[in-house]
Amino acid sequence: MRSATTILGIIHERGKQRLPLERVSRLLFNRDLYLMAYGKIYRNNGATTPGSTPETVDEMSLQKIDTIIEALRSERYRWAPTRRVYIEKKNSTKKRPLSMPTWSDKLFQEVIRLILESYFEPTFSNFSHGFRPGRGCHTALRQIDDNWHGVNWFIEGDIQACFDSLSHEFLMQALAEHIHDGRFLRLIRELLRAGYLEEWRYNATVSGAPQGGIVSPILSNIYLSKFDDYVENTLIPMYTKGARRKKNHEYDNLLCQGYRLRKRGQYTQAIKARKAAQRLPSVDLYDPDYRRLKFVRYADDWLLGLTGTKKEAEDIKEQMKTFLREELKLELSDEKTLITHARTKAARFLSYHISASQDDTRQTKKKRSSNGHIRLRVPPDLLQKKCQKYQRNNKPVHRKELSNNTEYSIVAQYQSEFRGFAEYYQLANDLHRLNSLKWIMEQSLAKTLATKLKTTVKKVHKKYGATWTGDGKLYRGLQVIVPREGKKPLTAKWGGISLKRKLHAILNDHPQPFWPNRSELEKRLLADACELCGSTDRVEVHHIRALKDLEQKGRREKPLWAKVMSARKRKTLVVCWSCHRNIHAGRSVTMLQT
């Protein structure tokens, strides 16, 4: 039987060559694919979250894989309805529906996702960045920063309730164009129609891909790839003409006038002529014979950059709206689809403000160096909202909810929160503006520590103030060191995060396909022996959410199995059925003598 890596490599090559996939359902009988899928998703937080049944990643075993395969062979496998919950949307009062599949369905969905991603990834557009390996928000933004010079208008797009509105029929047609296996397609159709339980009442699904499902992101990319193809092969050629813009004759005349005046020795008038020219563009910004259209998409959010007129931008918006409604059965959100002038206002995309600079005074080597260049900026409202978390009446205050935490965890949490915000905006041209946030957070951190220790801010800085070197630079900040007997001390630092723009600290937007060899957990499971007593009777895996769950309250001694997991720093333990029952019942477990 072929290994999972070999199978996925073959599928990937067929995708690159645009050859159809056949006999895909036979691949679902390969145990190695399920082991690879298990190795990829068992670490996810959702793996220990139950769906519509109590089943989770705990008690995972080879027998469970064989049961799924046997059900597929005899065509008895049935998708269970998902459990629907609602989570709050960022910067919105609305809530997002989230579907929680059962563990067996998650595992099987990951196998399907591996197959679909291996085939379709080479076929996707370079303008698409959402839910793809090696790509993300930063690669989308970097594409804009690198290639959108000279844009006049932005068209911000958002598809209304995109993932809930995907047409099942259209999606199945898109899959059937490339996959010639009715049995495999039937499994996906049944997955889409499995329904969900909301407050334990069954609801059918007639459209959409469930948000929270492992296979949903790749299905949505397959669906929206038709949209990418339309923009790339229809709209972009339609609005691309001319090698370069025509020269601005008024600008050239003023330069020539300045040159003649300088030759005559009339330097004052020559300088005035040159300054007048600098207030004009060197080319005709609205040259009717020059057009360019740029495009980038991340999930259901997309942005177009047009070198043209506002009328053309409005026409493009209408064409996009018509295509989405008539071809993809989707609706464009009118309130979120905006047309913005690039040089006077900023478009918002992926929580960045994007604009084209206009500065006639800035020069490099006696030439204007910034006009028309893309500028990525931190939105002022988001920065202000972030600052407000650490302020009251516009002054930094302590965070009372952290007072019961240790000094180490307080410093570590502040550092983590600032690092996450700063790292996301590492492509911003005005990243230095985060210095105001840094100062506010540092004052709030010092006041939180002072409140906990019942001392003053000055004494906190005196006690925890430190300097250290990183990246060849000297940093000052706060540092908490927790000594540990026989181990390296724990260190939490506040500071040391550079606010210099980092253009190259992003994911690779042209990654090579990579399918890892067996993970350590897969090898342990294949050993088919209990790691406590050595038994080979019904071996399965015990899972916990986090290592901190092994800590016992009070002075009670840790059970033997918990000591083993703590010593190995593993959230998994391969055990036999008997030992697993004893672990969950709180009974003692006999350790194998070695």
> Rounded CA gap, 452 and 320, in Å?
57
Residue 91 is classified by DSSP as T
Give yes or no for a contact between 83 and 213, defined as CB atoms under 8 angstroms apart: no
User: Could you read off the pLDDT of 96-145 as tens digits, one per residue?
Assistant: 888 899 999 999 999 999 999 999 999 999 999 999 998 999 999 999 99
pLDDT above 70: residue 263? yes
In this prediction, residues 357-386 reach a mean pLDDT of: 80
Q: What is the CA radius of gyration of the chain?
A: 30
In this prediction, residues 282-304 reach a mean pLDDT of: 90
Tell which wins on pLDDT, 429 or 163.
Answer: 429
- DSSP letter string over 97-149? EEEE--HHHHHHHHHHHHHHHHHHGGGS-TTB-TT-TT--HHHHHHHHHHH-T
User: Could you read off the pLDDT of 168-182 as tens digits, one per residue?
Assistant: 999 999 999 999 999
Instruction: Report if pTM > 0.85.
Output: yes
| DSSP H or E stretch at residue 303 | strand 301-307
> Rounded CA gap, 414 and 94, in Å?
28
What's the mean per-residue pLDDT of the chain? 90
* CB-based contacts of 73, cutoff 8 Å, min separation 6: 29
Q: What is the pLDDT of residue 594?
A: 47
User: Could you read off the pLDDT of 397-411 as tens digits, one per residue?
Assistant: 999 999 889 999 999
User: Could you read off the pLDDT of 222-244 as tens digits, one per residue?
Assistant: 999 999 999 999 999 999 999 88
